[in-house]
A and B are shown apart, each in its own frame.
Chain A
């Protein structure tokens, strides 16, 4: 497959009154043409900072101290603001989380959707508006033609998110970055937006980086999944690898703390104890170790490297070291392993 984006060993710091926050501490991943990569993690894990680094939309107190972000082999981190302007909203575009704040309330939606075209393409106002209308139709705004002159407040939350998506895809970007695009929406609207993104991907062949903390959404949209914790990736692989053969105890904890619909109400929900570490002083070992009941002594001392699990599946946990003791994962995760075996049999049979 074609790699269109390669992030290598990215490190990002933030300078604050309290000191330096090590928000991203060495993150590497690729994005293949036409695929959807989901980045999963809690707030503060660095998933939004990672994609904002790609777009070069970081706050002014940030500092990219290491790494490269190669787009078709070209390092985006070496580009000037002017060069980035040509890429942003054109080749790589972004859908933000909150449809209430990411639209300009004083500008008609026709103008907002047409704006990227007016900036990037030498195209008349009329032609740009025509194209805006097409794209608004595509994302499912009823009577798009009649609504070009309406303002954002005249639309519902779900419709506004569709408009935000229309702006992002109006120029057929190669990469679409969606930062929690459905978190602010109701479940039924969320389902529609996810279907829409999948449909658009089929139609225009965009690669999608989808950021979310909702594993249910990930299961429905992702081809590959990267799990982030405290500024690092802890595990990545194909969607089936992560859901049916997870290896990092943090991935176990995430999967195990989701209530399933057949859970026994008389039992406690499984939860991950404690809170994420303060990245002003990142721990020296595995950042998850203090919350991890499977932690080994070495986890507190030394950062685990990535161990290969299968072809595209890697996890950074010392439990995968050949000398590590065998541990028994949570029951719900063991059931997932059983599912994985069955999947393997059907795939090979």
Chain B
């Protein structure tokens, strides 16, 4: 069944190094391969410094990958030149929602100008009337009052700003959205509002999401499949339920054991699992499919034992 699903994004052996050849060379992404099915949400979790945000930024080509391929609808986009025609075409299909709703909106631009920047660049909705109509429609879609389009970002709360960021991403009618910790900066009561909105829009428009986060309970809720990153590598990838019910990598287990649960009795009984990474990244380790649809960074022997 899985084979019949269409893959919208395919990442093959992606490497993203910084300061190459220097003393402080960083292998932010070190040979990562995965794919995303059309219409699904792939959750990408990991700690700060694990490379999860870099992965998102490489896919949307905010960086130029050091090595490997990024296929978007079958076409390799890893080597497209900046400012080329192809880049412009592909940027319309792929959009990003950023973590910090305070830093990601230009404070000197009105909401309508923030949202319509993409429209103007891609020549969608030309003419003042058509443009404002489209902006109003977008604001309405994210449950903001279209009458507020002439306001500035500071006049909105954090949750409302994140809605503006979502409206901006949706403006050019993309197929694929990378959401980089879109709710981490929001209050608990507002997080649920934004997640519900993202899911409604996904259903309505058949969007595909890469949802990057460190809040594991929210990722479980929103994702169809989850990839767990550690030190520039994906150590485990499986369906959301499988990751939670049958985690195989000891790092995944340690991560799951650290999630605080709002229940004092559960917290009293909690035992935390520590992860020892000294044996986890040898030459014998590679990324293998150990159970149908369940990928694990492990040795051949470990894989055989699981099978």
Using CB atoms and an 8 Å cutoff, list the residues of chain A in contact with chain B. Answer: 42-43, 157, 186-191, 194-195, 213-220, 239-240, 243-244, 253-255, 257-261, 263, 265, 268-273, 275, 339, 343
Contacts and interface: CB of A to CB of B under 8 A. Distances in A.
A263 B221 contact: yes
Contacts of A270: 192
Contacts of A258: 188, 217, 262
B150 interface: no
Which of A243, A273, A343 neighbours the largest number of chain B CB atoms within 10 Å of its CB? A243
Leading 3 A-B pairs by shortest Cβ distance? A216-B260, A271-B192, A272-B189
A343 B191 CA distance: 31
DSSP class of A's interface residues: helix, strand, loop or mixed? helix
B110 interface: no
Contact of B263 (A157, A243, A257): A243
Contacts of B267: 216, 219-220
Contacts of A215: 188, 262
B193 interface: yes
Contacts of A195: 272
Interface of B: 47-48, 157-160, 187-193, 195-196, 199, 214, 216-218, 220-222, 240, 244, 254-255, 257-267, 270, 272, 275
Contacts of A42: 187-190
B255 A275 contact: no
Contacts of B260: 187, 190-191, 194, 214, 216-217, 219-220
B259 A271 contact: no
Given A215-B188, A269-B192, 12 more contacts: A42-B187, A43-B187, A213-B188, A216-B259, A220-B267, A257-B188, A257-B191, A259-B192, A260-B217, A261-B261, A271-B196, A272-B192
A275 B48 contact: no
DSSP class of B's interface residues: helix, strand, loop or mixed? helix
Contacts of A260: 217, 261
A261 B266 contact: no
A187 B187 contact: no
Contacts of B262: 215-216, 218-219, 243, 255, 258
Contact of A261 (B188, B222, B244): B244
B137 to A, nearest CB: 22
Which of A243, A244, A261 neighbours the largest number of chain B CB atoms within 10 Å of its CB? A261
Given A42-B187, A216-B262, A220-B260, A186 B47 contact: yes
A188 B47 contact: yes
A194 B217 CA distance: 19
Contacts of B263: 219, 243, 339
B48 A239 contact: no
Contacts of B272: 191, 195
Nearest to A187: B258
Contacts of A219: 260-264, 266-267
Contacts of B244: 261
B188 A187 contact: no
A142 to B, nearest CB: 15
Nearest to A184: B48
A101 B254 CA distance: 29
Nearest to A242: B264
B217 A220 contact: no
Contacts of A189: 47
Contacts of A220: 260, 264, 267, 270
B278 to A, nearest CB: 15
B48 A157 contact: yes
